């Protein structure tokens, strides 16, 4: 989070659309929130952006610090248009990128299955665990590779938690690709160190 702000939140340079900024809540109205962006002026969360983040906005109060993404530098009333929902996803993706770089193991709950693998979610971001990235313990061993049988085997994991690493984060849409197999590789490396 700190790195995102260091890249974007320098008041010495003018703001740009798409940047993540931190501001203090100045006022809350029925369908809008006003945010103090210091030297840049006042930001506003309203319209579609307000309704997309309505639940989150219910918990904020005047004086709270919030992160938001700049949507437009100046609307017809002179405010900088902001989005909390879009900032939230970007912050989550940055956290996931850091977990990927560290090779951090995490537990995910399996929500769905299809013929290609298992579907989950991490902090509101779609995550996919391909069959090829399942550990040897969980890999569906189906004679003849019948996809209908493979799907039935994969559906047994719905509701279970699996320990995985992030293999990749797709740039378009931010879908996360997971790997359970990498856990096996780490275990093999650990065992081989002893020899």
Instruction: Quote the pLDDT of residue 130.
Output: 93
* pTM score over 0.85: no
Residue 143 and residue 179 in one domain: yes
Residue 153, Cβ density class (10 Å: 0-12 exposed, 13-18 middle, ≥19 buried): middle
pLDDT: which is higher, 25 or 1:
25
Question: pLDDT of 141-155, one tens digit each?
Answer: 878 778 888 888 899
pLDDT digits (tens, 9 = 90+) for 54-72: 888 888 899 999 888 899 8
**Same-domain status, 73 and 123:** no
Question: Structurally, how many domains does the chain consist of?
Answer: 2
* 178 Cβ neighbours under 8 A, 6+ residues apart: 108, 120, 127, 128, 129, 133, 164, 165, 166, 167
Together in a domain, 14 and 69: yes
pLDDT at 108 over 90: yes
CATH classification at residue 35 = 2.40.50.140
pLDDT of amino acid 114: 93
Residues 80, 113 within the same domain: no
Rounded Cα gap, residues 184 and 190, in angstroms: 10
Same domain assignment for residues 83 and 126 = no
Q: Does the residue 194 lie in any domain?
A: no
Domain holding 13, by residue range, is 2-88
């Amino acid at each position: 989070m700190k790195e995102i702000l260091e890249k974007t939140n320098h008041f010495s340079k003018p703001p740009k659309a798409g940047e993540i900024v931190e501001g203090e809540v100045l006022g809350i109205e029925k369908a809008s929130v006003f945010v103090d962006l210091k030297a840049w002026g006042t930001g506003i969360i309203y319209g579609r952006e307000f309704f997309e983040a309505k639940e989150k906005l219910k918990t904020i109060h005047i004086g709270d610090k919030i992160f938001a993404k700049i949507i437009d530098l100046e609307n017809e009333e002179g405010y900088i248009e902001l989005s909390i929902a879009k900032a939230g996803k970007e912050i989550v993706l940055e956290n996931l990128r850091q977990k990927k770089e560290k090779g951090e193991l995490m537990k995910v709950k399996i929500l769905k299955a299809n013929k290609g693998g298992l579907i989950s979610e991490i902090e509101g971001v779609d995550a996919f665990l391909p069959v090829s990235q399942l550990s040897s313990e969980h890999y569906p061993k189906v004679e003849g590779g019948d996809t209908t049988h493979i799907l039935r085997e994969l559906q047994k994991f719905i509701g279970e938690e699996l320990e995985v690493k992030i293999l990749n984060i797709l740039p378009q849409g931010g879908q996360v690709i997971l790997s359970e197999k990498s856990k096996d590789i780490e275990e093999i490396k650990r065992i081989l160190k002893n020899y």
